Chains A and B, each alone.
Chain A
Amino acid sequence: MPYDSIVCVKQVPDTANVTAEAMKEDGTVNRGALPAIFNPEDLNALETALEIKERHGGTVTAVSMGPPKAGEVLRECLYRGADRAILLTDRRAAASDTLATSYILSQAIRTIGRYDFVFCGRQAIDGDTAQVGPQCAEKLGIPQITYLEEVVAIQDRRVQIRRNMGHGWEIVEAALPVLVTVIASANQPRPPSIRRVMRLKKAKVIAELAAEVKDRMPDAAEEKVQAEAQRRAEELKQRGLLIEQWGLDEIHADLARCGMAGSPTKVHRIQAIVLKKEGFVSVPDTEEGIRGLIHELVVDRTLG
């Protein structure tokens, strides 16, 4: 029996390669200073969906919310086997916190309509909140299973999933549709398929086309830019290479719940923490010595 999956993916700054310019003065991330990559655990989520498609049939739709540049991660999804990709981009969605983001994503998922699974990476490496997936499930009113490590079985519109809780695992069962968040150890994401790359490398969202046109004709009027972008979009569409782009209107979002207005999260304080080595302590290689060390680590909350 075929299953339709939706995978939420995010383009994130590569926080593994942080430089001094990584943070702006107001404490937000300076995206320009960091290379943009596919959020690693979202690739694991995509892989889970693609494996289900291979085993059972069905479709995989990738959804990303972000600036036009996020078209890059959607192409990566198409290269690996996604059937459809949708970019959610709208200026009014800027500065959304996890609550607003999950609202927008859930509206997009409702707009897509039919689905059996929604897969998300456990968390994004820029915010590390792990909130968006679960919040989406709440808003969609469907069950959620976090920390997927293995799909144990899918049968009769029920799924069994092994979740890794860090100190052990459990197998839980849920009725479909279900939202699942996936961790890195679930699988090794597949490489892009080169034949798909050669075909789909020209796939674009209209916002990317507009940016291209603006680059080419910096002095042109906005109307002219849009007209040219539209013309190029039509051409791509004819060749099946136009990646869908939705704004907040297309997903019937309540604007009060989007962007700055819909984001109650406030950054209270930014603290720059510089880790320094300060000498070393020699611990005697005895039962007592080790006990002392453990006690010390418990007291300063490194352990426990």
Chain B
Amino acid sequence: MANFFLDNDDIQFLFHHLDLAELARIQEDDFARKDNGQADYVPEDAADAVDNYRRILEILGEVAAEMLAPNAETIDREGNLLNENGTVTYHPLVQQNLKRLNQADLMGFTLPRKYGGLNCPILVYSMANELISRADCSLTNLFGLQGIADTINAFASEEIKEMALPRFARGEVTGAMVLTEPDAGSDLQAVRLRAYQDENGQWFLDGVKRFITNGCGEILLVLARSEPEVSDGRGLSLFYCERSEKVKVRHLEEKLGIHGSPTCELVFDHAPALLIGQRQRGLITYVMALMNGARVGIAAQSVGVAEAAYRLARTYAHTRQQFGGPIERLPAVAELVTDMKIEVEAGRALLYETSYVCDLENNNLRVLETGLCPDKDEEKQRKQRGRTLKRINGMLTPMSKYYCSEMALRVGNSAIQVLGGSGYMKDYSAERYYRDARITTIYEGTSQLQVVAAVRGVSSGGLDAWCEPHEKRRYDVPLLTELQQQLIDARQRLHEAVQFAKSQAAGYLDLSGRRLVDAAITIVIGHLFLDQASANDRKQCVARRFLARELPKLKMNCEMVLSGDMTPMSEYALLAGPVPAAG
């Protein structure tokens, strides 16, 4: 039986290398509390919990390989169906896929057992998302949107939780994050959809939302303007709205890729809704939290589709004969294939690290919020630790989303290149992987917005806080010590570039953002590879090659920043040329 978990040496290695037992102890409060769910599937100890994680991924790995992947091509070709009454019918194979995931009982992945969830760490969830995306990138959206259940869990009233979460956990409902509008894309502060109350205090929604992934889902989290007099983000609140005749899908978008994931235009017509948390905190608190989780999800989706593309190219390069041998013997092809593989591993390393840190932060917060701290001292320590984790995460999450999605594009592109003419044809899935991957640098915040978020961490201490323990580590292998020194030097170089960029005119830091963040990502992944290399000989070679390839780019990026060139902004009209005449 094919299995996307068991056939993946890198995931297998990381599953054992990363300290999942420690994570399980944190996630399960050291197995000391019995009230973390009366469910009959509570793990007894760390070994039991890790065994559960492994079994979850083993089952999902087989479902993904045997049941989901074979449907992907047909779903891509045929898509979903918009009905005249404003509802959407999933493609029959999408329905079948969801049924399989339900039979495997994989919904409610990260929800507490109190609501019927599996109480899995985000790290395991990221692994799961990756496996599904390798089978069918578009399906990750339907599976991954259970992330909105986590937002409900974090911020909604107990009443809403009881109403929604068990249904998510039973796989009865899917959800959607309903944020974007025609005039509010990256700039969500401009959201206009109206929220208003009747005399009994019941909330209603009126307006139009656009580009809503799975907008046909049963449970919608809607960002709406509850304070008409406040025109910016502080006038927005988040609402819980169940699908009804008052919410219609007016249009299904025709997209470049992810055809299995319905992208809806939604019309709300006096649709009843419930307020989540407090008024006016919709965008600034809740949506930001929601998006952070979703960004890790997109990073996982990106790694999964990149893995699929890499595997196709690896096989093709090995079997395709030209010039009297397999094309992988040609230097240019060998480099394409090895670059793809190393980049997928680099993305995975960053994704798993980010997920792990998210787990540390979330659990730390959970302990603080539920009053589990035994004494004031620990509470103080945890609060301090929470601030550090938040700062690191504020950098790692956008970094992961940015790096993994851009990586998926590069790898998808290279896969087509390795397959040549065949890659351009629909006979192979390379072109589908590329089309599917293309959205990942756009939704849940474009790469450009991720860079804006990440550069803050790079320029104000997040990177330093993350790097310090890695730079102090001692390695037994001389090669690793040498590479570590190169990374320490690289951070110094980056530090100078950051200082220079900060000293320049306003806007220069943003203009240099991509280069600074690229440099920082090289340093972070470099350290992660060194850590992996300390336990795996092959990874020594991976680390060496990764840095041989990336450190020169880091130097180039820093040099470019130090040039102080502002012309894309200062000479915009001249360089961009005139606006093309209409028609």
Contact = CB atoms under 8 A, between A and B. Distances in A.
Interface in B93-147: 100, 103-106, 118
A194 interface: yes
Nearest to B113: A195
Interface stretch (A60-68, A139-147, A162-170, A197-205): A197-205
Contacts of A289: none
A211 B429 CA distance: 49
B40 A193 contact: no
B40 A191 contact: no
Q: Which of A190, A198, A199 has the most CB of B within 10 A?
A: A198
Contact of B105 (A188, A195, A201): A195
Contact of A198 (B41, B62, B100, B104): B41
A190 B105 contact: no
Given A196-B105, A198-B41, A199-B40, A191 B55 contact: no
A192 interface: yes
Nearest to B39: A195
Contacts of B104: 190-194
B439 interface: no
Nearest to B40: A199
Contact of B103 (A190, A198, A199, A201): A190
Contact of B41 (A188, A190, A192, A195): A195
Contact of A194 (B40, B59, B67): B59
A46 B51 CA distance: 26
B103 A193 contact: yes
Contacts of B103: 190-191, 193
A191 B43 contact: no
A2 to B, nearest CB: 21
Interface in B26-75: 39-41, 43, 51-52, 55-56, 59, 62-63, 67
Nearest to B120: A194
B62 A191 contact: yes
Max count, chain B CB within 10 A of own CB: residue among A191, A194, A198? A194
Nearest to A193: B105
A192 B59 contact: yes
A190 B99 CA distance: 9
A197 B48 CA distance: 12
Interface string B181-199: 0000000000000000000
Contacts of A201: 51, 55
B216 to A, nearest CB: 25
Contacts of A193: 103-105
Nearest to B116: A195
A196 B55 CA distance: 11
Most chain A CB atoms below 10 A, which of B59, B63, B67: B59
A44 to B, nearest CB: 14
Contact of A190 (B55, B100, B118): B100
A75 to B, nearest CB: 12
A192 B39 CA distance: 18
A194 B100 contact: no
A188 B99 CA distance: 12
Contacts of A194: 52, 55-56, 59, 104-106, 118
A189 B154 CA distance: 37
Contacts of B51: 201
Interface string A15-39: 0000000000000000000000000
Contacts of A198: 41, 43, 52, 55
A198 B108 CA distance: 15
A197 B103 CA distance: 12
Nearest to A80: B103
A31 B104 CA distance: 30
A192 B103 CA distance: 7
Interface string B169-188: 00000000000000000000
B325 to A, nearest CB: 25
A199 B39 CA distance: 9
A188 B63 CA distance: 11
A198 B55 CA distance: 8
Nearest to B43: A198
Contacts of B39: 195
Nearest to A240: B40
A226 B63 CA distance: 40
A199 B41 contact: yes
Contacts of B62: 191
B67 A195 contact: no
Given A194-B106, A195-B105, A188 B55 contact: no
Interface in B441-492: none
A190 B63 CA distance: 9
B63 A191 contact: yes
A197 B58 CA distance: 12
Given A196-B105, A198-B41, A191 B100 contact: yes
Interface string A161-194: 0000000000000000000000000001011111
A31 B15 CA distance: 32
A195 B107 CA distance: 10
Contacts of A199: 40-41
A191 B52 contact: no
Nearest to B117: A195
Given A196-B105, A198-B52, A191 B59 contact: yes
Contacts of A197: 52, 55, 59
A195 B120 CA distance: 12
B67 A191 contact: yes
B42 to A, nearest CB: 8
Contacts of B55: 194, 197-198, 201
A208 to B, nearest CB: 17
Between B59, B67, B105, the greatest number of chain A beta carbons within 10 A of the residue's beta carbon is seen for: B105
Contacts of A190: 100, 103-104
A35 to B, nearest CB: 11
B136 to A, nearest CB: 16
Nearest to B55: A197
Nearest to A188: B67
A182 B106 CA distance: 28
Contacts of B52: 194, 197-198
B223 to A, nearest CB: 33
A201 B106 CA distance: 17
A36 to B, nearest CB: 14
Contacts of B67: 188, 191
Nearest to A194: B105
A195 B100 contact: no
A41 B220 CA distance: 42
Nearest to B101: A191
24 contacts: A190-B100, A190-B103, A190-B104, A191-B62, A191-B100, A191-B103, A191-B104, A192-B104, A193-B103, A193-B104, A193-B105, A194-B55, A194-B56, A194-B59, A194-B106, A195-B39, A195-B105, A195-B118, A196-B105, A197-B52, A197-B55, A198-B52, A198-B55, A199-B40
Interface of A: 188, 190-199, 201
Given A190-B100, A194-B104, 20 more contacts: A190-B103, A191-B59, A191-B62, A191-B100, A192-B59, A193-B103, A193-B104, A193-B105, A194-B52, A194-B55, A194-B56, A194-B118, A195-B39, A195-B41, A195-B118, A196-B105, A197-B52, A198-B43, A198-B55, A199-B41
Q: Which 7 A-B pairs have the closest CB atoms?
A: A198-B41, A193-B105, A191-B104, A190-B103, A199-B41, A194-B105, A195-B105
